[in-house]
Amino acid sequence: MRIFKQYEKVYINIFRIIKSKEKESLKQIVCNILCLVLLLNIAACGSKTEKKENLLNSTDHLNIAKQLVLGYIPLYIMEENGWLEEALSEAGYDVKVKYTEFESGPPENEAFAVGEQDIGVMGNVPAISGIAAGQKRDIIGIAYNGEKTLGILVQKNSNITEVEGLRGKKIGIVIGSIAQDFLNAMLENSGMEMSDVELINLGVSELETALLTEQVDAVAMWNPTMLKICADEAGILLVDGTGVYAGENVIVANKEYTSQNPDIVRIFMEQYKRAVDELKSDFDGYAEKYSDVTGLSKEILIQTWENSNFPVVLTEKDQEELEKTAKFLYDQDLINAEVDMMEYLDFTFSGKE
């Protein structure tokens, strides 16, 4: 009705011309009809475009998955300050933000699989495992990484002084975690393979005891557990990932959510970066705050953060690292399908189209 009212004068003009029976009336009628059709088509296209724009960023929720891992603390800072809710409201979005804490990547993957989460943080291995299992998700950023974020530790009085000395030894590890990918990279860098060592599957809380009681010869682990084992003098660092392994921990998002709500996701990434900057500005203060929560000393928290990078954005270097991880998982039969990482890396929120 609005469109017809907009072009009411055209209709009236056509009617008058028909009624006047002027010599050029037929020609004028045709011209006016063609103009009317053209204008109506333009209006219709504009209406469709407006409708499409209205469908974008029209969600009423943003469900965020978090883990109480030191590298993911920016999510906790963002939540506690209400920055995301504030930024969304200022941008005109009526979106309910809900944060849900998970113990590790696997249960978080399960929540993504049933559509309960929109954005989350996790290690490279569970992120790629979820993709291989058929989850429609994108990796939209890097929560944290760092060559000193993972390491191989040996017994305090061990005579193992280099990676080659691990041949034939028992290594405690969380099977299917980022530590397994890290260990593989370190072995390959020393001309070895996973088959050259014996893997002992342990929980995170079991690693220190296993090393201390000599159930294993070494453990491969990430911070802060790695630093805690050293601080407790239960083991010593043999090698970290310097020069070999980047230790990618990613920001993942439901593919459908990002495609339908790009501006909302952009605002999330901006506020995540704001929280990262806040953490980096006061390691000491946040170490004091989270020491009791994590049960770790301030010194371990500060050292963990100092050894970590918080890039947020994706780079081509990250792409290369994630492609290596995907290949490793497939070659080791840890996933049942090859994953082309380029199909699942969304650089939109990293300033790269």
The pLDDT of residue 34 is 56
Point out the domain boundary residue: 55, 73, 90.
55
Q: Are residues 105 and 253 both part of a single domain?
A: yes
Query: Residue 213 — very low, low, confident or very high, per pLDDT cuts 50/70/90?
Result: very high
Q: Are residues 136 and 260 both part of a single domain?
A: yes
Nearest to 64 by CA among 29, 39, 99: 99
More confident residue, 63 or 103: 63
Mean pLDDT of the chain: 88
Burial class (CB in 10 A: 0-12, 13-18, 19+), 30: exposed
What dihedral do alpha carbons 275, 278, 284, 289 form, nearest 10°? Answer: -50
Contact in structure between 153 and 218 (CB atoms under 8 Å): yes
The pLDDT of residue 51 is 39
The CATH number of whichever domain residue 167 belongs to comes to: 3.40.190.10
Q: Are residues 192 and 325 both part of a single domain?
A: no
pTM of the model: 0.80
Q: Are residues 285 and 256 both part of a single domain?
A: yes
How far is residue 78's CA from residue 84's CA, in Å, rounded to a whole number?
Answer: 7
Q: Are residues 259 and 208 both part of a single domain?
A: no
Among the residue ranges 35-44, 69-78, 249-258, the one predicted with the least confidence is 35-44
Q: Are residues 342 and 298 both part of a single domain?
A: yes
The total number of structural domains in the chain stands at 3
Burial class (CB in 10 A: 0-12, 13-18, 19+), 175: exposed
How far is residue 353's CA from residue 351's CA, in Å, rounded to a whole number?
Answer: 7
- Residues 6+ positions from 206 with CB-CB distance below 8 Å: 172
Nearest to 140 by CA among 278, 315, 279: 315
Average pLDDT over residues 274-288: 98
Among the residue ranges 20-24, 228-232, 341-345, the one predicted with the least confidence is 20-24
Q: Are residues 33 and 166 both part of a single domain?
A: no
Q: Are residues 136 and 273 both part of a single domain?
A: yes
Query: Residue 176 — very low, low, confident or very high, per pLDDT cuts 50/70/90?
Result: confident
Nearest to 184 by CA among 351, 330, 350, 36: 330
pLDDT, tens digit (0-9, with 9 covering 90-100), for 300-326: 999 999 999 999 999 999 999 999 999
Q: Before 224, cis peptide (omega within 30)?
A: yes
Average pLDDT over residues 269-289: 98
The pLDDT of residue 52 is 41
pLDDT at 271 over 60: yes
pLDDT, tens digit (0-9, with 9 covering 90-100), for 183-209: 999 999 999 999 999 999 999 889 999
Average pLDDT over residues 214-243: 95
Burial class (CB in 10 A: 0-12, 13-18, 19+), 163: buried
The pLDDT of residue 177 is 86
Q: Are residues 82 and 158 both part of a single domain?
A: no
More confident residue, 94 or 6: 94
pLDDT at 129 over 80: yes
Distance of CA 104 to the CA centre of its chain: 14
Domain region containing 35: 2-55
- Helix H segments across the chain? 2-6, 8-20, 25-55, 73-81, 83-90, 105-113, 124-132, 178-189, 207-212, 225-231, 255-260, 262-281, 283-294, 298-306, 316-331
How far is residue 258's CA from residue 49's CA, in Å, rounded to a whole number?
Answer: 19
How far is residue 279's CA from residue 310's CA, in Å, rounded to a whole number?
Answer: 10
Could you tell me what percent of the chain has a pLDDT over 70? 84
Q: Are residues 197 and 344 both part of a single domain?
A: no
Q: Are residues 166 and 306 both part of a single domain?
A: no
Q: Are residues 252 and 141 both part of a single domain?
A: yes
Average pLDDT over residues 37-51: 48
Contact in structure between 109 and 158 (CB atoms under 8 Å): no
